[in-house]
Amino acid sequence: MTATTGAGAGAVGPRAASASGITDTTAPPDAPAVGEAARRAAERSVQHLLARQDAEGWWKGDLETNVTMDAEDLLLREFLGIRDEATTEAAARYIRGEQRDDGTWATFHGGPGELSATVEAYVALRLAGDPPDAPHMARAAAWIRQRGGMAEARVFTRIWLALFGWWKWQDLPELPPELIYLPHWFPLNIYDFGQWARQTIVPLTIVSAKRPVRPAPFALDELHADPRRPAPPRALAPATTWEGLFQRLDRALHAYRRVAPRSLRRAAMNAAARWIVERQENDGCWGGIQPPAVYSLIALRLLGYDLGHPVMRAGLESLDRFAVWREDGSRMIEACQSPVWDTCLATIALADAGLPPDHPALVKAADWMLAEQVVRPGDWAVRRPHLPPGGWAFEFHNDTYPDIDDTAEVILALRRVRHPDPDRVDAAIERGARWTLGMQCRDGAWGAFDADNTSPFPNRLPFCDFGEVVDPPSADVTAHVVEMLAHEGRSHDPRTRRGIAWLLDEQEPSGSWFGRWGVNHVYGTGSVVPALTAAGLPLTHPAIRRAVAWLQSVQNDDGGWGEDLRSYRDEAWVGRGASTASQTAWALLALLAAGEGDTPCVERGVRWLVDTQREDGSWDEPHFTGTGFPWDFSINYHLYRQVFPLTALGRYVHGEPSFGKEG
């Protein structure tokens, strides 16, 4: 989700004549060739990005994840009885196009086949009419059986199968709706879960309690490793382990289901439904992301909401807005949309590339961002009840869940713009900075959506076997906040200093930082170094020098940088992977902030960006460099390949941006 944007104090680089007419005669003798090439590349990129701005002032690139979004969209429509032939064929065309030669589907470009994604894609194509004996289907089914069949798929996949009778509900972990009643201080209350998990789990408690089964249009026996034992028993871990303890808790919940008072269960489901409806956004979605919307619609339908009900109608209409229709007639579903994030990053990139701060495109972008500020409390207020609102969210409509990362970057972007109403900008920034400071965690760092969302228990539930379900502090988010606070003149604020101390403690022995919301150590390092230098750390500080040495050591032979998503599981991949435009830019931003602008390492990175730029000023990037859940859910932000290279080239040509604030 996140991205680095700040240039640190001391960032230097060869400067050449720019569109704004600024020149610098202090460039080293060997700089003009690469400096001039960088200037021209930046100007082409500026024109490309300006052409992509919406008339309302925002930018938004496609947000690509994996085919489970498309498969689950079809399964939802089948469950609700609204699946149509045109939508089905468009989705199937996209899913078929993503299948690999071995019959599998991966969750990121170039990644290995993934069992749950392959099961869901296979079922979706069966819905579309692809016969099981077709070569591409037979390859997929054989691979699934070799990996243990659908029994080895994740819980969320087996829930979808259970909705149609392809899996037994009793063979799934229990999730009681009475969870909604647990007080905020009690372990495993709904606010112990990260916002994305919380929004999904609450409706799933209703689904789990109801255990609905719609008649399946076909059997799926070919996906069982052993049709005689479709759900082989799982070994019980020792009771002295966390795994064993939570397995026994799940057994206790299954037993409770048989004796749960009906009146209590009915009341709990109604309370959960009220919680869901209260959090529906103005556009009909929930939290601006697709999965909670899907499960909320199912839950409300099970409680008697008909498809014509305003809540249901608005929710279904919101799902259509997640669809990206392509020229070949295929249809890809976005897990969410990123206009606020993309707009603030584009604004920073254009300003750092030399676009005048009062350029109409920047002023229009600022106006749109100002209108998107969230001015009412959301779920974050459960732990910060007295904190006035003032953050920004990631999506078009998501007043319930503004996030710290977007807020920090929007403030940095607004400071790049010379707005005709500076008092309005100052007031919005003051609200945003105050909210951000109030969301600081006890350890001095910042998470993404909530403060102190660090319970050790949710991730241990048998139900939660797919990705991170809590929201602990991360180096990249904390770095963006520190950078923002530094440029707001708060470098010496004790809260900023605590954030800096946390970042220094989190540096890896290699010299890098772990990237929670971007891939991975290149991203984390590209976030932290500009923040530390902006906050006043000298360029000679040991942490900065270790980071520089690490980035130099992982530069690819072609001059670029890349890191594969497998680095989240395998240390051999840390800092290793095919060069990409966004990751090369992240490395360059760190090196420029560290005063390395006139080094051969930076020059080679800049040349790689120049040489790989397309004629229209854009860059190609099929690789996934964004992260939803480390390893488990990966994202290709299609605008990353445009905004970050432009930011890096702009800072290489023009040097450090001016914010008009003293740190």
Question: Where in the sequence numbering do the catalytic residues fall?
Answer: 405
- Which residue type occupies 495? R
Q: Round to whole Å and give the CA distance between 177 and 302.
A: 13
DSSP letter (8 states) at residue 214 = P
Angle at 189 between CA 255 and CA 453, to 5 degrees: 140
Nearest-CA neighbor of 561 among 531, 596, 525, 597? 525
3-state secondary structure of 471: strand
CA distance 197 to 449: 12
Distances (CA, A) of 74 to 4, 80, 197, 212: 36, 10, 22, 17
Cβ-based neighbours of 501, under 8 Å, separated by 6 or more? 444
Closest Cα partner for 234 from 181, 188, 171, 291?
A: 171
Residues 6+ apart with CB under 8 A from 189: 179, 182, 183
SS3 at position 642: helix
DSSP 348-398: HHHHHTT--TT-HHHHHHHHHHHHT---S--GGGGT-TTPPP--B-SSSS-
Do residues 428 and 380 touch, judged by C-beta distance below 8 A?
no
What contacts 353, CB < 8 A, 6 or more positions away? 18, 42, 43, 45, 46, 646, 647, 649, 650, 653, 654
Q: What is the rounded distance in angstroms from the CA atom of residue 643 to the CA atom of residue 95?
A: 28
